Amino acid sequence: MESGALGVLLLAFAGVLDGPLGLTVTLAVVIGVALLAWAGFVAWVAVDRRPGLVLDVIALNVAWVVASVVFAVAGWGGLTGLGVVFVLAQAAAVALLTALQLVARRAVRSAVAA
């Protein structure tokens, strides 16, 4: 899972990300832990497959993308140029995965309705 991998990377490299990305240790650790928790929740939803929970994952992914873009563009947190690119790149990756989730959800709904 991408979220879990990014969470592990943020935790493992929290001490060195401040320089090149401008991402403080505290923020890297908080986001890393949150992403690990999120990855666990998404794994549970993948097994449980309740339609409402799938929609929750999609909605929260959209919120993450919007928050990431606002954070990067507004200049909050003192990100470097590379940090802005990093945040926008992960937001783009989440947006792509969310689009794929929507396509898959529609395909499943069509198959069930048929």
Residue pLDDT tens, the chain, 114 long: 688 999 999 999 999 999 999 999 999 999 999 999 999 999 999 898 777 898 999 999 999 999 999 999 998 889 999 999 999 999 999 999 999 999 988 888 788 776
pLDDT of residue 1: 64
Residues 17 and 23: their CA atoms lie apart, in Å, by 6
Cα→Cα distances 101→42, 56, 88, Å: 12, 11, 20
pLDDT of residue 2: 81
The pTM assigned to this predicted structure is 0.88
pLDDT of residue 36: 97
Residue-range domain boundaries for the chain: 2-113
Residues 13 and 1: their CA atoms lie apart, in Å, by 18
Fill in the DSSP letter of residue 13: T
